[in-house]
Amino acid sequence: MSTKLLVSRLLELIQLPTEEFNPKIVQWIESFETIPQNEVQSPCVNDLKNEMQTESIESICTTLVQGYIAGFTLHEHDKSMQIFTLVLQHFLQKNTSLQQVEKLIFSVAFYGRIHQRIELDDYLTALSECNLLCFVNEDFALTYELRAFIHSQMHQDYESSLRDYKKVIQYVPDNEELYWNCGVMLENLERWEEAIEYYEQCLEKKPSHENSILAIVSLEEKLGKSREEIRNRIQQYLPDNFQDQSIQTKLQNYL
């Protein structure tokens, strides 16, 4: 995917209402992880500083895209943070409150920088910046997902993490991994029946999510269910073909 196409797509997304923007910006960000590294060049920060001087929305989005290429495609985390900071400084220097489009661009840039801090294991600063971004734009769903991850990694604060993952689901209800993450947090809290409910919701979104099947089996065993009960519970979720041999071996005891 070319840089121009990524910029064009971002310009389209920032015009959407919140309920459409959140799911689609997730897909936009994920696309950078699939770009072959040999198809892009490492951005030049000085060139981007010059680009930003035009102060047009398109030039700002171009700089933002280069920040994502540096961080999410090339894994040049320090350079990526410099680029995202350029975008953030542009908006912070304004004396007026941000318009909706500007707030969305600011949020995407801030999210990108927080993500790079996590990659560099700077969880404390990342958490502080997550809290700030939640205050600036409470409707930017991805911030809650990052904060949920930080809560679980830094302090094993699974309750706070669960609360944030549930918050993201309100904005992005069709993402199966959010239900999986809720199940994992509930399992860590030993709320096993609730965890099973979320694993089942994950399977409703993605029937081939084999780890959810295995998690349900494990928790049903902890709850003291019989082999027949477990077989009946998971039968409806079995995929046509198993991709993970270890999961297939585990489930053979119940088939």
- What pLDDT, on the 0 to 100 scale, is given for residue 255? 56
Q: Give the residue carrying structure tokens 């959810």.
A: 212
- What pLDDT, on the 0 to 100 scale, is given for residue 62? 94
Q: Return the CA Rg of the chain.
A: 21
pTM: 0.87
Question: Which residue, 155, 129, 156, 160, is CA-closest to 143?
Answer: 129
Q: What is the pLDDT along the chain (255 residues), one digit of tens a residue?
A: 688 999 999 999 999 998 899 999 999 999 999 999 999 999 999 999 888 888 889 999 999 999 999 999 999 999 999 999 999 999 988 767 888 899 999 999 999 999 999 999 999 999 999 999 999 999 999 999 999 999 999 889 999 999 999 999 999 999 999 999 999 999 999 999 999 999 999 999 998 888 898 899 889 889 888 888 877 777 777 655 555 566 666 666 665
Q: Residue 236 phi/psi, 5° resolution? A: -70, -15
Domains and CATH numbers, the chain: 1-156 (1.25.40), 174-255 (1.25.40.10)
Give the separation between CA 109 and CA 114, rounded to whole angstroms: 9
pLDDT tens-digit readout, 141-151:
999 999 999 99
Secondary structure (DSSP) of 42-101: PPPHHHHHHHHTT--HHHHHHHHHHHHIIIIIS--HHHHHHHHHHHHHHHHT-SSPPPHH
- What pLDDT, on the 0 to 100 scale, is given for residue 75? 97
